[in-house]
């Protein structure tokens, strides 16, 4: 019997060893297969310089080509640096028009292969995830109005080159009534000869919302994936998105949106929004940090067991990190630490935020989905059936804006989930201005936003309306959208705020709000609240009674704020800085005598004698120190 036991033990040990070998082989095979596939992928020759050259070459695109030259411009996502002073006058002209027409560096983009290689920016854990065997397939819908040729085609090729063919049903290009010449016959030719590419055209300028609806109406995939027309999908971008939808069709998913530099076309990893969170040290100095990932190595077993629980045919392998042989240092990858989620402010502007603590606790590991209150809007995947059931988009919205918050609210309030999938990365060229024409004479973003506020925001909509003094303007008929909400039996906006976005500052708690008008002269405290106004003193401006840059709130913590920006006095000027919630330089007292006193320094805000600036002076109670806040709480 003793011998038996020994034999049994030996067999168990052998089995275990075999299993390990098998796993390693599997891992290895996956990797080498991936490398082989990469090497065999068709490439095009480099340096298709400018539009006309590219158009001439359009005939060649898509056919098999020699190996990629890793030293060519922009390969591996590297920046293309152009010294415009060294260009010939003719090239310089192209360079300038490229910028002017696109609001990004078209000249640089035109130098880069339409199939350029990109770095693999995923967390290394991602490469070992086994996804469902039967993933749904997808139609990828790319809408555009006047997009540059090289940028548009690179979007399309990045999708075709980096999606498993059986999962990519088609790429639907929707031309929203562009007038660039290369988007006419040349693009038609490209679509005709490129497998899977369909081109549909709007008969008039529809704006991005209805253009997407047009693309959706012809889509045949089980899932629709929307992309802007200046994106680059990276290796493995698609499977993790589809996987979440396969698990539950009410999951609406977005990739991590990486920044493709508008000037150099450099592919930056994890930099949409800023990449840090704020902390402080014990001198109470504010400082920046990468998002900590304490939980990362604590739980190694649960994610594995969880995957098996979902499907018992899953073979799961943990990530094998390196422990350095000389120092015994444990090396790991920081990837997921820079992810930002979507929020919004009461001007109904989309913004980025660090992952809140509640969500970090909820996640088991760095590759788990991250629930996000809102999404940027341009890059996401959704089950076609579910999108239809949810009421697609509001066709009453024009050109640009608002639809992303509308869909985000609707997903959450009507029973779905909106999540960011850390293993899926897609680059996007972020522009500093909009290059194309908008509607003249209408504020379309406001119109779209009022439509969504009317339908989805219940009593909270007044916070938005206060921002422009309830001057709603013409926003059309929203009856059908309200009926949709009723039919879907969606939850309230209050539920959404309390459960999905509890971090949002609620102006209802404000002790005073509206314009802050000086008693001596009809001048108001004025500043925009964004990064443009950081490091600039608050201005004085004639009161205009329209909210906007003159709308301020007094929070219970004594902040004078709008959205995430707070009035801050550190001894010289009053500036707007990100609210830190720690009082200090951001604590103010609005006295019963209507003075505005800075708590720390005990100085009062005083209008300068000429009415053009404000100064901090000892409190004297003169008229130039008296400030009439539009709405003051009775408390």
Where on the chain is the footprint of Mn ion (CB under 5 A)?
228
**Minimum distance of Mn ion from residue 376's CB (angstroms):** 9
User: Shortest CA distance to 419 belongs to which of 260, 299, 250?
Assistant: 250
Report what 229 binds from Mn ion, ligand LR7, none; CB cut-off 5-8 Å by kind: ligand LR7
| Residue pair 275/338 in contact by the 8 Å Cβ criterion | yes
Structure tokens of 460? 């909270």
Using Cβ positions, the residue closest to Mn ion within the complex turns out to be 228
516 contributes a contact to ligand LR7 by CB under 6 A:
no
User: Shortest CA distance to 497 belongs to which of 416, 565, 412?
Assistant: 412
176 contributes a contact to ligand LR7 by CB under 6 A:
yes
- Sole binder of ligand LR7 in the list 18, 185, 434, 522 (CB under 6 A): 434
- The size of the interface with ligand LR7 (CB under 6 A), counted in residues, is 23
| Nearest-angstrom CA–CA distance, 416 and 388 | 13
User: In the chain, what is the straight-line distance between the N-terminal and C-terminal CA atoms, in Å?
Assistant: 85
262 contributes a contact to ligand LR7 by CB under 6 A:
no
Closer residue to ligand LR7 in complex, CB, 408/513: 408
**Minimum distance of Mn ion from residue 374's CB (angstroms):** 16
411 contributes a contact to ligand LR7 by CB under 6 A:
no
Report what 239 binds from Mn ion, ligand LR7, none; CB cut-off 5-8 Å by kind: none
Could you tell me which residues come within 8 angstroms of residue 28 by beta carbon, excluding any fewer than 6 positions away? none
145 contributes a contact to ligand LR7 by CB under 6 A:
yes
Q: Rounded to 5 degrees, what are φ and ψ at 359?
A: -80, -35
Report what 48 binds from Mn ion, ligand LR7, none; CB cut-off 5-8 Å by kind: none
| Nearest-angstrom CA–CA distance, 562 and 551 | 7
| Nearest-angstrom CA–CA distance, 288 and 279 | 6
Q: Is 301 exposed, middle or buried (0-12, 13-18, 19+ CB in 10 A)?
A: exposed
| Residue pair 412/418 in contact by the 8 Å Cβ criterion | yes
| Nearest-angstrom CA–CA distance, 334 and 293 | 9
Three-state DSSP class for residue 331: strand
**Minimum distance of ligand LR7 from residue 114's CB (angstroms):** 17
Three-state DSSP class for residue 306: helix
| Nearest-angstrom CA–CA distance, 423 and 601 | 49
- DSSP states of 563-619: TTEEEEESSS-EEEEE--SS-GGG-EEE-TT--EEETTTTEEEEE-TTSS-EEEEE-
| Nearest-angstrom CA–CA distance, 468 and 323 | 58
Sole window of 19-27, 84-92, 376-384, 607-615 interacting with ligand LR7 (rule: CB under 6 A): 376-384
Residues present in the chain in total: 635
| Nearest-angstrom CA–CA distance, 576 and 569 | 9
Closer residue to ligand LR7 in complex, CB, 207/343: 207
213 contributes a contact to ligand LR7 by CB under 6 A:
no
Closer residue to Mn ion in complex, CB, 161/228: 228
Report what 401 binds from Mn ion, ligand LR7, none; CB cut-off 5-8 Å by kind: ligand LR7
Three-state DSSP class for residue 29: helix
439 contributes a contact to ligand LR7 by CB under 6 A:
no
Sole window of 3-11, 114-122, 138-146, 507-515 interacting with ligand LR7 (rule: CB under 6 A): 138-146
403 contributes a contact to ligand LR7 by CB under 6 A:
yes
Place of tokens 């080159």: 161
449 contributes a contact to ligand LR7 by CB under 6 A:
no
Closer residue to ligand LR7 in complex, CB, 99/552: 99
**Minimum distance of Mn ion from residue 108's CB (angstroms):** 17
In the shown chain, the binding pattern of residues 98 to 137 toward ligand LR7, with x for contact by CB under 6 A and - for none, equals ----------------------------------------
Report what 149 binds from ligand LR7, Mn ion, none; CB cut-off 5-8 Å by kind: none
Closer residue to Mn ion in complex, CB, 33/434: 434
156 contributes a contact to ligand LR7 by CB under 6 A:
no
- Sole binder of ligand LR7 in the list 125, 147, 235, 515 (CB under 6 A): 147
Helix ranges (H only) for 460-553 are 461-466, 479-487, 493-500
423 contributes a contact to ligand LR7 by CB under 6 A:
no
**Minimum distance of ligand LR7 from residue 553's CB (angstroms):** 25
**Minimum distance of ligand LR7 from residue 543's CB (angstroms):** 32
Sole window of 258-266, 325-333, 394-402, 469-477 interacting with ligand LR7 (rule: CB under 6 A): 394-402
**Minimum distance of ligand LR7 from residue 274's CB (angstroms):** 13
Three-state DSSP class for residue 417: strand
Closer residue to ligand LR7 in complex, CB, 160/399: 399
Could you tell me which residues come within 8 angstroms of residue 53 by beta carbon, excluding any fewer than 6 positions away? none
**Minimum distance of Mn ion from residue 224's CB (angstroms):** 18
347 contributes a contact to ligand LR7 by CB under 6 A:
no
215 contributes a contact to ligand LR7 by CB under 6 A:
no
- Sole binder of ligand LR7 in the list 46, 108, 135, 208 (CB under 6 A): 208
- Sole binder of ligand LR7 in the list 73, 186, 207, 391 (CB under 6 A): 207
Closer residue to ligand LR7 in complex, CB, 185/434: 434
The 3-class SS string of 98-154 reads HHHHHCCCHHHHHCCCCCCCCCCCCCHHHHHCCCCCCCCCEEEEEEECCCCHHHHHH
| Nearest-angstrom CA–CA distance, 290 and 339 | 10
User: Shortest CA distance to 631 belongs to which of 543, 523, 508?
Assistant: 508
551 contributes a contact to ligand LR7 by CB under 6 A:
no
Q: Which residues bind ligand LR7 (CB under 6 A)?
A: 143-145, 147, 176, 207-208, 211, 228-229, 257, 376-379, 399-401, 403-404, 428, 430, 434
């Amino acid at each position: 019997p003793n011998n038996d036991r020994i034999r049994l033990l030996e067999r168990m040990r052998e089995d275990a060893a075999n299993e390990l070998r098998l796993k390693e082989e599997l891992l290895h095979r996956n990797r080498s297969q991936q490398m082989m596939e990469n090497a065999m992928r068709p490439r095009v020759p480099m340096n298709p310089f400018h539009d006309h050259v590219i158009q001439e070459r359009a005939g060649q695109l898509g056919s098999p080509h020699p190996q990629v030259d890793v030293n060519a411009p922009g390969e591996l996502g590297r920046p293309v640096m152009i010294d415009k002073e060294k260009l010939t006058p003719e090239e310089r002209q192209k360079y300038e028009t490229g910028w002017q027409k696109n609001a990004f560096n078209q000249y640089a983009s035109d130098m880069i292969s339409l199939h350029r290689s990109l770095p693999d920016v995923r967390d290394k854990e991602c490469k070992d995830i086994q996804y469902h065997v039967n993933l749904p397939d997808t139609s990828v819908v790319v809408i555009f109005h006047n997009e540059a040729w090289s940028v548009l085609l690179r979007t399309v090729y990045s999708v075709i080159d980096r999606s498993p063919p059986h999962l990519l049903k088609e790429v639907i290009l929707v031309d929203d009534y562009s007038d660039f010449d290369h988007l006419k016959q040349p693009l038609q030719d490209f679509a005709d000869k490129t497998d899977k590419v369909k081109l549909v055209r709007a008969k008039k300028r529809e704006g991005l919302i209805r253009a997407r609806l047009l693309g959706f109406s012809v889509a045949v995939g089980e899932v629709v994936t929307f992309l802007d027309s200046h994106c680059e999908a990276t290796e493995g971008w698609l499977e993790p998105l589809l996987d979440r939808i396969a698990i539950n069709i009410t999951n609406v998913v977005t990739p991590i949106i990486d920044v493709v530099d508008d000037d150099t076309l450099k592919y930056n990893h994890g930099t949409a929004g800023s990449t840090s969170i704020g902390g402080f040290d014990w001198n109470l100095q504010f400082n920046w940090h990468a998002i900590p990932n304490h939980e990362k190595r604590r739980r190694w077993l649960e994610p594995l067991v969880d995957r098996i629980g979902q499907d018992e045919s899953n073979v799961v392998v943990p990530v094998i990190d390196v422990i350095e042989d000389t120092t015994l240092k444990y090396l790991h990858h920081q990837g997921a630490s820079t992810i930002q989620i979507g929020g919004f402010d009461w001007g109904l502007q989309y913004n980025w935020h660090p992952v809140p603590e509640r969500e970090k606790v909820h996640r088991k590991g760095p590759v788990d989905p991250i629930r996000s209150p809102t999404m940027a809007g341009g890059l996401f995947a959704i089950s076609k059936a579910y999108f239809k059931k949810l009421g697609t988009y509001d066709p009453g919205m024009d050109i640009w804006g608002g639809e992303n918050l509308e869909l985000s609210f609707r997903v959450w309030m009507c029973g779905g989930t909106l999540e960011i999938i850390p293993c899926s990365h897609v680059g996007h060229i972020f522009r500093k201005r909009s290059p194309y024409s908008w509607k003249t004479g209408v504020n379309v973003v406001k119109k779209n936003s009022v439509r969504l506020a009317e339908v989805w925001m219940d009593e909270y909509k007044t916070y938005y309306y206060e921002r422009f003094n309830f001057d709603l303007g013409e926003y059309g008929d929203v009856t059908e959208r309200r009926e949709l909400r009723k039919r879907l039996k969606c939850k309230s906006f209050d539920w959404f705020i309390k459960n999905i976005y509890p971090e949002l500052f609620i102006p209802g708690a404000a002790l005073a709000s509206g314009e802050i008008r000086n008693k001596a002269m009809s001048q108001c405290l004025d500043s925009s609240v964004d990064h443009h106004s950081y490091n600039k003193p608050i201005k004085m401006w004639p009161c205009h009674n329209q909210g906007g840059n003159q709308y301020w709130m007094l929070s219970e913590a004594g902040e004078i704020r709008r959205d995430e920006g707070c009035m801050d006095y550190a001894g010289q000027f009053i500036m707007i800085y990100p609210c830190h919630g720690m009082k200090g330089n951001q604590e103010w007292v609005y006295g019963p005598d209507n003075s505005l006193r800075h708590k720390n320094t005990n100085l009062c805000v005083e209008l300068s004698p000429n009415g053009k600036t404000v100064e901090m002076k000892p409190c004297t109670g003169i008229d130039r120190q008296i400030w009439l806040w539009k709405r003051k709480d009775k408390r």
